[in-house]
Structure 1
Amino acid sequence: MLRVCEKLRVVDVKSKRFGLARTETDYLRALQDAMANMDRCVEVEVLKSLGDVNLEKGQMDKNLEMFDRAMVLYRTALIRCNDADVGESLEHRYHFAEKLRLGKRLTVLSSYEPLDSLRKLCSLPNVAERFLDIDRRLTVSGKSLFLHIEYTRLMVEGIVSDDNVLEAEAIKSLGDVYLKRGTETRDTTCLTKATALYNTALARCERFQGTVALIHRLLYTGRIRQKRTTGKKNPKRRLQQQQGHVSRDFPITSPNTDVSDVKGHQSISYEEYLTTGDRALTDGKLDVAEQNFASALREIHKPSKPDRGKEAECLSRLGDVYVQRSKTAKEGRKFTQAAALYNAAMARTDKNKHSVTKKLQEIEKLFLYYTGNVETKHVPPDLAIGHKKRLQEMRTRAKSQLEAIDQQHNPYQYDEDDPVMITVEAERAEAVKSLFKNIARDRQSFIQGLVDECIGTLGPPPCKYAFIGLGSQATELVTPYSDLEFAILIEEGKDNDDTRRYFLNLTHYLHLKVINLGETILPAMAIPSLNDFLSEDPEKDWFFDSVTPRGFAFDGFMPWASKTPFGRDETKRKRPVSLIQTPAEMAKFQELDVSVAEGYHLSDILRRVVFLTGEEALVTTYMGKLNKVVTDDVLSHFMSRMSVIQILLDNIEQFSSYEPTGQLLNVKKDIYRFPGIVIEVLALCCQITLASAWNIIDKLKEMEKIHEENATHLTVLTSISAELRLRTYLNNGGQEDKVEYPEHYACMIEQNTI
């Protein structure tokens, strides 16, 4: 805040000497600089100050429109403000301006329109005319130096009139000014500011054509910057590139960084990062501590050949940071992130395993105390051991059943032309189908036990509920290593803050227990200093977890995943989504406007569900509402067709030409996915809402949409792909999808091509 005040102090002094007209121009300059530097604090303060200028003008001239402008500027600043104190000040200003506007009688203006009148209907020709007028005036006057002031003034006009097109075009034009200046002067700072402004315009642009234009400008600016950077001769950098090492820039400071604690990035070693981070953690500077520990990890992080001991050191320290964060924030997600970091550290070394286990037990106690309002003196250490044992028993059982199938149903001992081979192959497919149904039931029982354990500690739910399984759990193609994708249905009329808080806490507690199985990879936790999926900078998504075994875990927090009750946080393109809903609200994800806004994938996922635990009647209610939306009218049939087209467009290139080559394949992408897509497309075309892939095949045959022979082919093909995936995971001990293409499986897939 001191930094912001210093930047605006000079402008405030000038206002006393030169009056409001000059002051407004200086504030416009400050606003343009703030946006070019992506400095949100200064942007908010300048918008507030511009509101003050309009408020003062309104008082001096008794002009009600100025009060309106001031109110809109205060409101815009409030929306973009992250500081509670500043937000409170803005609220006071807004209400003061409103009081003046309503209390003053019209004296100067001949007519008065309310606040909403400032919102003009967006008109592209009108916007174009505004920019042409600026070009004409500046061409006549020759004062092109003030072009950026005029564009900033137009941007403010766009804010005041709620004209998104005008605001976005003005910001884009500001970017063009910096791009031209940077290109002519070879100043990379100007190019950086141009990129920042284009990104800001992209975030606020709602027109497809405008978005395309901005993306082109960003790509062009990136190429110019690359030429400027690579054009400079830097022997040291070139040597590093030849040796296969390029140092990455990574921020190690934050607004509360002590300058005496920070040295140049290039000169700081792994040990110095750790020392600086330890000191910051002791002083309570959690941002600085996290960034230094993350920088230390980045220094030694090599996915192909990880230094497990050093990685464990960094991850354990990051876990300490998140424990302190969780105590302050009292957020369930911070506790689970801390637990994931400790588990990742344990996966890398046996050193200090006992102390880390104690820390994990302490995290559970802290979570229950700060988030669940439950005080417990002791967490039994054998709970996680019991869960791991039960999970392993499930996997051992699946492996033994596969061996039995091999012995009892082996079609590969016969010639391809032998009719017995086809009969035995179909029998094997039925045996595999039975195996996968058993695995789905085992997982349901396992999940049910975990949920009951959590409820037993947190206390009874405030209403009726049902956990519904999604994805492969619902299609009955799940393995003992597959991710857990699920949502929660709650009783109609009980959707309130208390209910949602309880089920969010329950989900966090369940997540904590699942993380302590030790099979959750760190990128799935979306820890910002390691994997910031919301950033547009690819350098901020840099940590690859090649050590932690990937097995039974929650679906990740990535924006394209997030199929858990937590849903998805708001992104620049999409609103936030919660998967804790009543049956009626959950069914609305199938409606056209919601499906198109979210992308058809979410509606497709929520169309195939299975009961896991709770009140099964809620699932029945949901399926009833779902069937009504999906099958009742022409619009729903149109939506199904659109989903089919989208699925085919997404996958047609991958499956357009496919021949076995004897090389290592990704069993999930190259083999397992194709039969699933076939079944999904057929189900959508026939408007079948059954979840199980096996049941869909039976339904297609019953409806006479496919002949019995093709139904058998589809069952065999599905069983082959599912079996291959299961065998690969069992053999690799986790979700490792690489598999060598066995010759007899190649023949099987060729014979069953549809």
Structure 2
Amino acid sequence: MLRVCEKLREADAKRKRLVEVEVLKSLGDVNLEKGKFKGKDVTKLDRAMVLYRTALLRCKDADVGESLEYRYRHAEKLRIGKATVTLISHEPSTNANKMPSIAKMAETFQHLDRRLTSDYNKDSLLIEYTKLMVEGIANEDGMLEVEAIKSLGDVYVKRGTETRDTTCLTKATALYNTALARCEGIQGRVTLIHRLLYTARLRQAMKTRRHKYPKHRRQQQRQQGDLPRDFPVIRHAKGQQFMTPSEYIGSQTSKPPAPDNRSYEDDLTTGDRALADGNLDTAEQRFASALRLIHDPNKPDRDKEAEGLRRLGDVYVKRGKRTKEGRKFTQAAALYNAAMARTYKDKGKINKSLQETEKWFLQHTANVDSAPSPLDSTTRHQKRLEDMRGRAKSQLDAIDQQHDPYQYDEDDPKMIAVEAERAEAIKALFKTIAKDRQFFIQELIDECIATLGPPPCKYAFIGLGSQATELVTPYSDLEFAILIEDGKDNDDTRRYFLNLTHYLHLKVINLGETILPAMAIPSLNDFYSEDPEKDWFFDSVTPRGFSFDGFMPWACKTPFGRDKTKTKQPLSLIQTPANMAKFQELEVSLSEGYHLSDILRRVVLLVGEEALVSQYREKLDEVITDDLLSHFQTRISARQILRENKEMFTTFEPTGQLLNVKKDIYRFPGIAIEILALCCQIRLASTWSVIDRLKEMRQVQEENATHLTVLTSISAELRLRTYMANRGQQDSLSPLGEMKHQTRKLHDDTTLKSEFHIPDTQILYRYYYRAIPLKKCMPDIVQHGSQVQSRRAE
């Protein structure tokens, strides 16, 4: 722990030293300028040289050091009366000592740009552009300064595309924003905005490619040098070549080839004929083909996509009426809602289709002769959800006002005390959110039961995942299972609860926050196919918020369970307590994977009979406390979790690149506490309760329990803030401060924003201050099991 603290202090000292160097450099620049323009004030020039020399003594960065040396030589030449040696020649004019020849400057940059597009050494180019930037600053030449900063950004963009390092793209974005803040001309600002959009597109392409394919395919593609499909490249006979930002912007001046509207319209017409004839497979194939022609995740043609999705919804309604499968109607509802999110046209028509979808579901699947829910019912549910989010935001704002530990210095004892108070307040907030969501879900289920009729037996909806751990957000997916009464497990009972789940799903889909890939519509996203081209539809328009856990084979934490795969049998999460507990048995865990058994170990009642949940917990205890399993299976589970998350537990150093708040911040504390619970035989659902029990059992000291609470609260708070800022489950979080620019034509600040920027970077420091030591000691905890109490986890 002491070594870690020393490293953190060293990092802090390094940061302070960098700030000190920047301050000295800036003071030197001020004195240099005053010395130049006040009749060559020798005192000011001497002072500038002293400041630059002092900064050099403290500087450890080679690039910054070279810049300081250049400044020092420039000041020295002015001091002894020699003409300043510049990198660009000047034309004779009344302003000859300041303004470079624009033609010469353009020639210089064109020459350097040609070297950029080749395989020229980029470190050398960085030095060249930095010199130009320094000269622009020294000569008060705004045009030269902006062009040099812009070119530095171009170098980092090319380096990022070659190395697939998003850190380089982050640096490029920062440089373009800096140039934008200094740029005067409207054309220059437009060019820089294009570069920012171009860089964002590169980052999104990398992210999409990384998440779309399995890890082994990504490694293979990196070895083969394949670029993402929508990567900006120039194709030549000899292969692929990097497209510079200038070339990309130039390519945007001429309109890209328009989609083949004739083929799009032909597909729609053919699909309409097939639909009218009842040939549903052909109709779906044609509508999907039309969608694929115009589908662009980065620049979707919303009106055309909406038309294709609406007609595809018509196919699924007819298919549902034919097969009587509830899932066909929910897929139709998702398609209609996706169409609604893309267009303002025909909303009345789409709403009518949604009501008819519910009507046909009740008639053909549930065998209930009942009118569909009125439109204002959906509006009321949407308002209820927004009110829940508004209350959470208000409470978070109140916590900021009442408990702000970051106003104190790190060594101030007040900071530790206020930080612990804030963690307790965050804990109370998340307990409130979990309870609000439970009431909301209960209201939806009660409405469904009122329409379908009373259940045939006693039941309990049990919440899983973050709902059970009390770390859920108002935007999180709904993960749950259904317990049914012993002796009532028959076809009629299962059919009723499947229909109830489908009806609940319809109501959740109509909230408008279910993305289409989560519905696993085969013509758009076929997750069971080995052909990646069959998983092609990316829903960048529909908000991703409160929705069912997806139908993907690796998700499926709903009563529907999972369809049969090549290696696994189908499973259902509608079970009696005894049968649900069997997922904890060693043989079942090995065949299904430990993730399913882990998530079913921590449950909370949503709606129904508390007695069934108690009975389920008793059955869990019977399975888990078996002599063999208590010492063997839980240890295997802990080791398996550690092995599956090896990268998370071996990555310590934070970086400046974009973070995925869920994967990089939120998941680690939850997994660490889950491992501690396994090792200590704790089967409580709530993460907060597990920490309290660890303290009661003296498996962790009181101080360490506080550390765990603070660590968990920071991770949960950052996820909640990110989702609130992005209005949905968008996980991008920037550890850098938000950069703003203001043009002369604007009266307010405008921020180019593509991700959530953390409000105070100190909160990340406090997170890593606790996370890094805990990561290092977790393997030892798993190895020694009951010796957790002797290990320090602060």
TM class by shorter chain equals 0.5 to 0.7
The equivalences for 1:355-374 within 5 A come to: 355-374=349-368
**1:598 maps onto 2:616 in alignment:** no
Q: CA deviation at 1:630?
A: 1.3
Give the match for residue 626 of structure 1.
620
Which structure has the higher relative contact order (CA within 8 Å, separation 6+)? 2
**1:674 maps onto 2:692 in alignment:** no
Q: CA deviation at 1:306?
A: 1.2
Partner SS state of residue 467, structure 1? strand
Give the match for residue 310 of structure 2.
316
Q: Residues of 2 paired with 1:561 and 1:637: CA distance?
A: 29
**1:394 maps onto 2:388 in alignment:** yes
**1:495 maps onto 2:489 in alignment:** yes
**1:745 maps onto 2:763 in alignment:** yes
Q: Residues of 2 paired with 1:457 and 1:511: CA distance?
A: 14
The equivalences for 1:117-132 within 5 A come to: none
Give the match for residue 545 of structure 1.
539
Q: CA deviation at 1:276?
A: 1.2
**What amino acid does structure 1 have at the position aligned with 2:717?**
E
**1:306 maps onto 2:300 in alignment:** yes
Give the match for residue 411 of structure 1.
405
Give the match for residue 251 of structure 1.
none
Report if the CA contact (8 A) 2:358-2:372 is conserved: no
Q: CA deviation at 1:373?
A: 1.1
Q: CA deviation at 1:280?
A: 1.0
Give the match for residue 647 of structure 1.
641
Partner SS state of residue 483, structure 2? strand
Indicate how the Cα distance of structure 1 residues 744 and 611 shifts in structure 2: closer, same or farther if over 3 A, else same: same
Q: Residues of 2 paired with 1:370 and 1:637: CA distance?
A: 51
Q: What is the CA deviation profile of residues 335-379 of structure 1, one whole-angstrom value per residue up to 9, with x for unaligned ones?
A: 000000000001111111111011101111111111111112453
Q: Residues of 2 paired with 1:348 and 1:687: CA distance?
A: 50
The equivalences for 1:559-578 within 5 A come to: 559-578=553-572
Report if the CA contact (8 A) 2:306-2:343 is conserved: yes
Q: Residues of 1 paired with 2:586 and 2:371: CA distance?
A: 51
Q: Residues of 2 paired with 1:609 and 1:352: CA distance?
A: 43
Partner SS state of residue 493, structure 1? coil
Give the match for residue 286 of structure 1.
280
Give the match for residue 529 of structure 1.
523
Q: How many matched pairs?
A: 505
**What amino acid does structure 2 have at the position aligned with 1:485?**
E
Partner SS state of residue 348, structure 2? helix
Match of 1:325 among 319, 322, 327: 319
Partner SS state of residue 612, structure 1? strand
Give the match for residue 32 of structure 1.
none
Q: TM-score, normalised by structure 2?
A: 0.62
Match of 1:430 among 424, 430, 444: 424
**1:456 maps onto 2:461 in alignment:** no
Q: Residues of 2 paired with 1:636 and 1:525: CA distance?
A: 38
**What amino acid does structure 2 have at the position aligned with 1:714?**
L
Indicate how the Cα distance of structure 1 residues 459 and 628 shifts in structure 2: closer, same or farther if over 3 A, else same: same
Partner SS state of residue 269, structure 1? helix
Percent identity reads: 73
Q: CA deviation at 1:747?
A: 1.7
Q: CA deviation at 1:244?
A: 11
**1:616 maps onto 2:634 in alignment:** no
Q: Residues of 2 paired with 1:588 and 1:522: CA distance?
A: 33
Give the match for residue 696 of structure 1.
690
Q: CA deviation at 1:652?
A: 1.4
Q: CA deviation at 1:662?
A: 3.0
Q: Residues of 1 paired with 2:268 and 2:602: CA distance?
A: 48
Q: CA deviation at 1:661?
A: 2.6
Q: Residues of 1 paired with 2:768 and 2:572: CA distance?
A: 42
Report if the CA contact (8 A) 1:531-1:540 is conserved: yes
**1:337 maps onto 2:355 in alignment:** no
**What amino acid does structure 2 have at the position aligned with 1:446?**
F
Q: CA deviation at 1:239?
A: 7.6
Q: What is the CA deviation profile of residues 62-99 of structure 1, one whole-angstrom value per residue up to 9, with x for unaligned ones?
A: xxxxxxxxxxxxxxxxxxxxxxxxxxxxxxxxxxxxxx
Report if the CA contact (8 A) 2:406-2:763 is conserved: no
The equivalences for 1:196-211 within 5 A come to: none
Aligned-pair Cα RMSD in Å: 2.3
Q: CA deviation at 1:751?
A: 2.4
Report if the CA contact (8 A) 1:335-1:367 is conserved: yes
Q: CA deviation at 1:484?
A: 0.2
In structure 1, list runs of 5 or more residues that go unmatched: 1-217, 227-235, 246-264
Indicate how the Cα distance of structure 1 residues 648 and 273 shifts in structure 2: closer, same or farther if over 3 A, else same: same
Q: CA deviation at 1:655?
A: 3.7
Q: CA deviation at 1:304?
A: 1.6
Q: Residues of 2 paired with 1:373 and 1:631: CA distance?
A: 44
**What amino acid does structure 1 have at the position aligned with 2:765?**
C
Q: TM-score, normalised by structure 1?
A: 0.65
Report if the CA contact (8 A) 2:313-2:335 is conserved: yes
Q: Residues of 1 paired with 2:352 and 2:279: CA distance?
A: 24
Q: Residues of 2 paired with 1:239 and 1:483: CA distance?
A: 47
Q: CA deviation at 1:657?
A: 2.2
Q: Residues of 2 paired with 1:542 and 1:436: CA distance?
A: 36
Indicate how the Cα distance of structure 1 residues 712 and 478 shifts in structure 2: closer, same or farther if over 3 A, else same: same
Q: Residues of 1 paired with 2:617 and 2:242: CA distance?
A: 56
**What amino acid does structure 2 have at the position aligned with 1:290?**
E
**What amino acid does structure 1 have at the position aligned with 2:689?**
N
Moved more, 505-514 or 375-384: 375-384
Q: Residues of 2 paired with 1:393 and 1:240: CA distance?
A: 58
Indicate how the Cα distance of structure 1 residues 432 and 359 shifts in structure 2: closer, same or farther if over 3 A, else same: same
Report if the CA contact (8 A) 1:630-1:637 is conserved: no
